[in-house]
Amino acid sequence: MRPFEYARPETEAEALAFLNDHGGNTAVLAGGTDLLNLLKADLLAPARVVDINGVDSLKGIHPVGQAFQPADTPKVGQTFLSADTLLIGALATLEEILDSPFTVEHESLRHVAEEHRAIQIQQMGTLGGDLCHLPNCWYFRNGYGLLGMENGRSLVEAGDNRHHAILGNRGPAKFTSASRFAPALIACGAQVRIAGPEPDVERWLPLEEFYMTPKTPRQGVTVLKPGQLLTHVAVPDLMGAHSASYEALELNGLDWPLAAAACCIDLDGDTVRTAKIVLGHVAPTPWIAREASQWLIGRRLDDATIERAAEIALEQAAPLKDNRYKVRIARTCIERALMKAAGVPVDMT
């Protein structure tokens, strides 16, 4: 691990000031469950680490009507945040998401938190850290960059690509997005607040627009620029709709999903009024299954419909030489997420 400066701000403005020194060659410390590994492996070498745990405005889970208000007038797109929008600070831990009375109606968030089968991660891991988690691709983690290249050649295509992308992988990026909460939040229509780089600058954007697929080694996996900070997540009131997530894990203990799916559906009896399905760990970004979601609308949600929607969602899959198995697993994740959202008991084994 290389030497670095350490700063612990107490306000958002102080945090942004610390992050903007050294030409933005800085790193954010929240739970630290992944940052410390990146530092020890010399995959990140920031001149300063900014510990944001002292910034109280980044904590808490509350409806907007009871919560800390970000600077100026918070907007989501052109719509004011309503009083019943759930505002989650970037420092909210997985344990807090599980324990909060305000997440009861957002079942998919609790499903994801429960699947982190390690008490240590639930206590220390933060929502903001999860959303910004860098890929778990073993080529990246062994120093070959986000694209897994050596001498201009893709190591992923020729090497072991069991856990790599089956969708959105036609470009140089073959890794899968590592965030476990992003599919559930995107399915529910979540927005995120980005502050900086200047203290008086902020913007809200849909979480699905937060992620990007890099085409060159110099690009990242999110739209965050040096000196910027993800501060809050806003989750709209589901208005009676139901959300669910399902992850396929190889191990019963701490593990990363082979594939995952989240959905948010609104039913009129057993007929689908609205639907959104989002896949995780199958593409360089959380993958919105738009055609499958649209196909569900107006149809009776039964076994045949669920199975067909899952098939539609994976019709464009382009598995690599070692990961064709992920297509079947991803379909199963969609089927089980839809069943959970509809209140159908799901065998979790």
Placement of tokens 């897994």 in the chain: 148
CA distance 230 to 40: 24
- What is the token pair recorded at 227? 């000196």
pLDDT the model gives residue 66: 67
Strand partners, 194: 203, 230
Check pLDDT > 70 for residue 78: no
**pLDDT one-digit tens code per residue, 195-209:** 999 888 899 999 999
pTM of the model: 0.94
**pLDDT one-digit tens code per residue, 6-26:** 999 999 999 999 999 999 999
Which is nearest to 221 in space by CA: 268, 162, 174?
A: 174
CA angle 96–228–264, rounded 5-degree value: 45
C-alpha 113: how far from chain center: 12
- What is the token pair recorded at 50? 């900014």
| Residues in the chain, overall count | 349
Mean pLDDT score of the chain: 92
Check pLDDT > 80 for residue 252: no
CA distance 263 to 171: 27
- What is the token pair recorded at 3? 């030497």
CA distance 299 to 270: 8
